[in-house]
Copies of this chain bind each other. A is one copy, B any other.
Amino acid sequence: MKIVIVGAVAAGPKTACRARRLLPDAEITMIDQDDLISYGGCGIPYYVSGDVADENALRTTSYHLVRNEEFFKNAKGVNTLVLTKALAIDRKSKKVLIENVKTGEQNELHYDKLVLTTGSSPFVLPLPGKDLEGIYTVASLHKAIAIKDDVAKGKVSKAVVIGGGAIGIEMAEAFADLWQIPVTIVEFMPQILPRIVSPEIAAMVTQHMKEHGVEVLTSEAAKEFVGDEKGRVKKVITNKREIDADLVIMAAGVRPRSELAVGAGLHVSANGAIVVNKRMQTSDPDIYAAGDCVDVICNVTGKRIVAPMGSVANRQGRVVGDNLAGIPSTFDGWQGSFVMKVFELCVGATGISAQVAKAEGFDSCDVLCVQSDRAHFFPTQAQMFLNMVVDKSNRRVLGINGMGVMGDGLMARINAAAGLIERKATIADFSNLELAYAPPFSTAMDILNSTANVADNLVSGRMRPISPLEFSDWMEAKRVEPDWMVLDVRHPREVAPFLKAFPDKWFALVYDKVRAEYKTLPAGKTFLIICNAGTRSYEIQVFLNSVGIKNTLVVAGATNVLRRLGKDWWITVNQED
C-alpha cells in the first residue's frame, strides 16, 4: 500500500508514525512545502521568551534527535520530501502533483490512500500597511525565528499584539516578561479571550497583565499600520488612538488551508474546512484529513467548528493511522479544553462559555465560585476561580472556565470536567464527582464540587446573585437602583475602610451576629450582601429570607474577585485604607 501524507507538522507525522507501526509493509511518503517540519508550534511563545533556549528544542524528540527528513527515514521508515508543495490531486488516477519549491521541478506521487494535513494559515487583517517589515503572524517556525531575531537583536522597543486570544496573550507575555518590552494588546471584542472565559475571569486576567506591564485595549480595532522611512512598522492606528510599535504580532485567528481539497472537489464546509467523518475520511473515502485543515463537531453545541490545536491534531493523526490500517477508531468531537499560562496565573476552560451558550440559544445561566485551591490551612493555598455554565432546562453542565495561580491546579479541575461535559453530565454529577483529595492538593469539598453546588442553589432558585462586574457598575453609579445598600458581613477590620469611603452605601453586620441582630438592618432597602467569597453571603441571604427580608442579592465571588478587577471605586477605598 502507498500512503501519501501532505503536511508534516503535527497531524501528518503522527499519522505517518502510527501507520508505520500498524502497516510495516506500506510505503509511506510525507511531503511538506517547508524545510522545517514536525515542530512543536505551541512552544513558539516560549521560544521567543527564551524559556526554550533555541528553535531546535521545538524540533527535537525527548531523546534528543532532531525530527528532520533523515530522522523520519532512518528511525521511522517514512520517506519525507521537504520543500515540496502539493499542487493538485488527481483522484481518478490517484496521483498527487508535487513541485519542488526551490527548483520548480514537478513530479507525481501515486497513492492508494492520501492524507491531507495541510494545516491552517494565520488570518492577516486586510489593513493598510499590513506588509510592513516588523509585522508578523505566529504561523511557522521561520516566523518565530525572525521574531526572536528581532527581539534578541534589540530591534524591538515597543510591541503591539493584535488579538487578545490565547496566542496573542502568550506572545505578549513572551515580550513583556523576560525581554521587558512594553506591549499593547488590541482586542476588537469587549474582553480578552472572548467567547472562551467569563467577563470576570477576563477582567481579572487583564488586571494581572496590566500589573505585569502589558497594556490591554478592548473594544478597539486596528485600522492601519504606519511605517518608517526604511519600511519598518512604527505605529498602529486604531479606531481610538495611535500606538507606537516597532513590532506587531497579528494573532487574529487562523483559517483552514483547504485549497488542495477544494481543487480536488472534496467537500468543504462553510468554515472553509475539509469535512470529515468520525474516521477522518473526506468525501472521497480514499482521502483522509486531520489537524487544523478540518472542522470538528462541538460536543456541546453539535455544530461544526474549526479547532486548530496541536493536541487535537495529534489525536486525530492517530485515528487516521488506525483507519489506514483497518482499525475503526473514531474522533468523536471537540469541546475546547484549554489551559494557558499568563505570568503568575493560569487560565483554562472546557465546554462552552456563558456567552456562547446564550448565542447558541441555550436556556443557560452561570455561576462564579471562589475557593482555596487546597486546604485553607495549607501554607501554599491560593484562591481559585471557576465559572460554570449550565442549561437550566435539564441541569446539564455546558462548560467551565476559570483562573488560578500558575501551576497544574486549575488544569486538574478542567481535566476533571472534560470527560463529564463530553458525556452530557449534570450539575449533580459534578456535585458528587469523586476527585482526589489531600490537604496539599485540594479541599475536602473540591472547588469543582462546590461550584456545582452553587449552580444547584442558583438553578433551584435558592440563591439570587449579582455578578461582581454588575456590582461594580452599581458602585460606579452606572446603573442607579433606588434604595440599595451593601450589607458587609466580613470582620469589622475588613469593613472599616469601606464604611469610611461609602458611609451612605455600606452597612456592617458581622456574619456570626446576623442571626441575633438582623433587626438592626435599615428597613426598606435592597441589600447587596458581601463577604470574601460569596459563601457567607449566601447563608445570610437564606437566613434573611426566612425572617422575611427577601430583597437581597449575593455578590458572587465577593471581595476575592472585586479586588482583582482594578476598578476605580475599589482602588479609592484601598488608598484610604
Contact = CB atoms under 8 A, between A and B. Distances in A.
A516 interface: yes
Nearest to A373: B408
Contacts of A14: 445
A436 B418 contact: yes
A130 interface: no
Contact of A512 (B22, B57, B74, B378): B74
Contacts of A513: 74
Interface stretch (A217-225, A261-269, A312-320): A312-320
Interface in A27-66: 40, 42-43, 46, 51-52, 57-58, 60-65
A539 interface: yes
Contacts of A423: 419, 423
Could you say which of A25, A40, A339, A411 has the most chain B C-beta atoms within 10 Å of its C-beta?
A: A411
B436 A422 contact: no
A438 B63 contact: no
A24 interface: yes
A446 interface: yes
Interface string A467-506: 0000000000000000000000011000000000000000
Contacts of A319: 432
B411 A449 contact: no
B43 A431 contact: no
Could you say which of A52, A329, A444, A543 has the most chain B C-beta atoms within 10 Å of its C-beta?
A: A444
B434 A425 contact: no
Nearest to A412: B412
Contacts of A546: 24-25
A214 interface: no
B512 A75 contact: yes
A511 B311 CA distance: 26
- Copies of the chain in the assembly: 2
Given A63-B531, A441-B408, A445-B315, A377 B58 contact: yes
Chain A contact-residue range equals 35 or more
Contacts of A420: 419
Contacts of A339: 436-438, 441-442
A453 B318 contact: yes
Contact of A437 (B311, B329, B515, B538): B311
A577 B343 CA distance: 41
Could you say which of A375, A462, A513 has the most chain B C-beta atoms within 10 Å of its C-beta?
A: A375
What 4 pairs between A and B have smallest CB-CB spacing?
Answer: A24-B546, A415-B416, A339-B436, A75-B512
Given A77-B515, A309-B437, A408-B409, 18 more contacts: A46-B377, A61-B376, A63-B490, A63-B491, A74-B516, A76-B539, A170-B438, A310-B444, A311-B437, A315-B432, A315-B449, A341-B438, A350-B436, A408-B411, A411-B412, A411-B435, A412-B415, A418-B434
21 contacts: A22-B462, A25-B546, A42-B437, A43-B439, A46-B377, A46-B378, A74-B515, A311-B435, A313-B444, A314-B444, A331-B432, A337-B435, A337-B437, A346-B440, A348-B436, A350-B436, A407-B408, A408-B441, A411-B441, A415-B436, A418-B433
